[in-house]
Amino acid sequence: MEHVSLVAVAVALLYLGALACIYRILLTYRTSQGAIAWIVGLLALPYLTVPLFLLIGRYRFGGYIKARRMGDQSLTGLLSRFEQQTTSIPAPGDQRFHDELQVLCKLGRQPFTSGNRCTLLRDGEATFEALFEAMEDATRYILLEFYIVRSDRVGQRIKSILERKLAQGVEVWFLYDDIGSVWLPRKYLRELSDAGARVASFGDGNIRRRRFQINFRNHRKLLVCDGRVGFVGGINLGDEYLGTALQQAPLRDTHCRIEGPAVAGLQLAWLEDWNWASDELPALDWSTGERSAGEEDVLILPTGPADAWETCTLFFLNCINNARSRIWIASPYFVPDFQIMNALQLAALRGIDVRILIPETPDSHLVKLAAYSYLVQACQAGIGIYRYQPGFLHQKVILVDDRYAAIGTANLDNRSMRLNFEISAIMTDSRFVGEVEEMLKDDLRNCRLMTESDYRDRSILFRLACRAIRLSAPLL
């Protein structure tokens, strides 16, 4: 009888846990389909679904939101002052363009800044060369934030430079994501810390910050040196971007270097993440916001699950819906939700040149199969799906007409739209936009245009697998 009573208590507690999860879902859900799926699972199979929900079920990073609201007043002041700066949006005579870009400023809570100089870094070799040079030239501090850090040749070169700069009196703050950098040896971090660097993980820390979930990841990749020069894009710190890892070809990826007032936007995004991870607010140089380095207008757009809106989704929708002649998007993952897919179809139907560049062989077979399930919808609307052939295309680039381009970390998938902390730089300078156009044209020459037959001519089992995996798109 005692054994039966214990089982009854366990079952009762399990269903109470399921009801608590359902309560949270009803208060916070963003899509009805996802909410219904979770609720059905929690009621039918609570012993499986309750642990799964605790692991991956939440869609709002509540702890980060609370830290942001209750954070140090100096951080709040910095964010507010930068947000309230006069926005410098180009083409003042074009009211539609002004409104389109003003929306992005409101989404990111940052202004378009003028007086910047941007350099497009088209591959890993150019990126690492520029990163190494900027760190070597730093005289006061270096801020790093990367999703993946490896202890390979690139990672060791980074550590060697940082240790040398620390010995010279340069301060170093090193922020990494514990999911993306799960294989980074503790020895690597310990040696950096012993050399004097401040090291923090986005997911670990005290009990207030510990996230018992794998959903919320800091997918940003940025570097700031002395508040003077900054870098942002899709490249992590690893040999795979040079072709010296195990894969045959280097990852095809893009980064950019920024000098000027926009660096303050990168620095603010880093500072907010660092404050969350460590409860510290380093004293940084903000005078770059007053210095001109060039003539280009740039907006830094951080997005993430702590935002009031689905900022990343709205960013993509704004780009797609306002395109006038073309929108080209390069992303390693093409698993759009119905909003993004509908917007792409409408754009193509109204005569916009819509091209999506994705890899022939991504790093996830499930993602590849899911992408096939969108092919018929895309082709019938006139959307061009191009598969990059030479290697794994990992860049995250958007080109809207000849008006602006975005280089960043956000993919065309649910994780970037709703779960990851991402960041993008948006540039309107005609020279820079032209360079992005030429880069994507070069990539397109190495792509294969897909057709409906790539899906329809496959076996029924293949098509069923694609459609079945698409159901799990929110988790991919």
Kindly report, residue by residue over 20-57, the tens digit of the pLDDT. Answer: 878 777 776 666 666 776 777 777 777 777 777 776 66
pLDDT score recorded for residue 401:
96
Please pick, among 123, 159, 178, 221, the residue that the annotation labels catalytic.
Answer: 221
Helix axes 263-278, 62-69, angle to 10 degrees: 110
Active site residue 226: yes
pLDDT score recorded for residue 177:
93
Active site residue 394: yes
- What span, in angstroms and rounded, lies between the C-alpha atoms of 340 and 108? 19
Number of C-alpha atoms within 13 angstroms, CB side, residue 386?
21
- Residue 365's Cβ-count burial label (10 Å; 0-12, 13-18, 19+) is exposed
Please pick, among 159, 239, 394, 413, the residue that the annotation labels catalytic.
Answer: 394
Kindly report, residue by residue over 445-468, the tens digit of the pLDDT. Answer: 999 999 999 888 888 998 888 888
Q: Which pair of structure tokens corresponds to residue 271?
A: 């500072």
Please pick, among 226, 307, 337, 413, the residue that the annotation labels catalytic.
Answer: 226
- What span, in angstroms and rounded, lies between the C-alpha atoms of 290 and 9? 64
Kindly report, residue by residue over 58-104, the tens digit of the pLDDT. Answer: 655 555 555 454 455 666 676 677 766 666 665 545 666 778 888 99
Per-residue pLDDT averaged across 338-357, rounded?
Answer: 96
Active site residue 66: no
Please pick, among 239, 368, 396, 413, the residue that the annotation labels catalytic.
Answer: 396
Active site residue 365: no
Please pick, among 123, 159, 178, 219, the residue that the annotation labels catalytic.
Answer: 219
In this structure, CATH architecture of domain 311-475: 2-Layer Sandwich (3.30)
Please pick, among 178, 239, 273, 401, the residue that the annotation labels catalytic.
Answer: 401
User: Smallest Cα–Cα separation from 180: which of 149, 154, 158, 155?
Assistant: 149
Average pLDDT, the chain: 86
Model-level pTM? Answer: 0.87
Q: How far apart are the first and last CA of the chain?
A: 45
Q: Tell me how crowded residue 1 is: count the other CB atoms within 10 A of its CB.
A: 5
pLDDT score recorded for residue 207:
44
Kindly report, residue by residue over 294-326, the tens digit of the pLDDT. Answer: 889 999 999 998 888 889 999 999 999 999 999
Does residue 276 have a pLDDT over 90? Answer: no
- Percent share of the chain, pLDDT over 70: 83
With contact defined as beta carbons under 8 Å apart, do 357 and 386 qualify? yes
Q: What is the CATH number of domain 63-102+114-298?
A: 3.30.870.10
